[in-house]
Amino acid sequence: MDPAAQKTAAAEGTPPLARIMVAEDNGPTRAFLQALLKKAGYAVTAASNGQEAYDLLCKALDESENEEIDGTLPLGTFDLLLCDSTMPVMTGRELVGKLRQHRQLRLMFIIMVTADAKIESVVSGLEVGADDYVTKPFQPAELLARVKSGMRIRLLQQEIATLEHQLAAVHLATAASHEINNPLMILMGNLEMLKRKLEAQDNEEINRRLNAIGLAAERIHKVALDLRKLKQIKLTTYVRNHKMIDLGNDPSPEQNVATSSAAPTG
């Protein structure tokens, strides 16, 4: 499933298909793997060598519009790579080594397929960065079981990364609340003192501006309290499709009126 289809599925509430890259130079084997994995319910893309696979993986990453969270792959990229160990142009081992050096693609789960069942060959593949291996000739049931296991591991890793990201955001929100609240209390205290001193003048313009400052300070105080109480991060879309933490604190009409009335009129 391409990134556009993944995005549509997510918007409709339909879980997108897990996406697998197959890198295999042998045509019949490549076709067999594609058919086997598609029948099992995966979205499959195939490449005939390591370089072609790497280029397709990078292209999918570039086309992804989702914001990156450390420890996760953006929606629309590949979840798992199934690659042959010996291929022209770029071997499977070279491909794995290159992916493990990539800032984002290193997160993929990689299964190495090798015709050499010797322990030295298997260890070599694992040491270069493969997560699992399958030896040729393989049983379809074994291959599918290893793919399913790899997908489960990636899902758990992504869930952990998301939780860690949310926890870090909650800690940041708590710290921000503290840093905002301290100077805000000084501001609000001095504002009250200023209002008492100027109360006798009964200047409508000054009173309106002081009230506007007070309303704005109260709103900031509410935001600080909401940040302190934050337990789970919920994002909302801001200008230019940027994301921000949703605190549910849209300005009320009264606040907007007060702010606009306090603005200089020329």
**pLDDT < 50 stretches in the chain:** 1-3, 5-15, 69, 71, 251-266
- Residues 173-194 have pLDDT tens digits of 777 777 787 888 888 888 888 8
| SS3 state at 21 | strand
Helix or strand holding residue 113 (H, E)? strand 109-114
> Using CA atoms, how far apart are residues 36 and 42, in angstroms rounded to an integer?
9
Max alpha carbon distance in the chain (Å)? 94
The two tokens of residue 172 are 């940041």
Q: What is the CB neighbour count within 10 angstroms for residue 133?
A: 19
Q: What is the pLDDT of residue 8?
A: 46
Q: List, by residue range, all CATH 3.40.50.2300 domains of the chain.
A: 3-138
Which residue type is seen at 2?
Answer: D
What is the CATH number that goes with domain 3-138? 3.40.50.2300
- Residues 52-77 have pLDDT tens digits of 999 999 998 888 755 554 545 566 68
Cβ–Cβ under 8 Å, residues 53 and 21: yes
Q: What is the pLDDT of residue 177?
A: 76
The two tokens of residue 123 are 């260890």
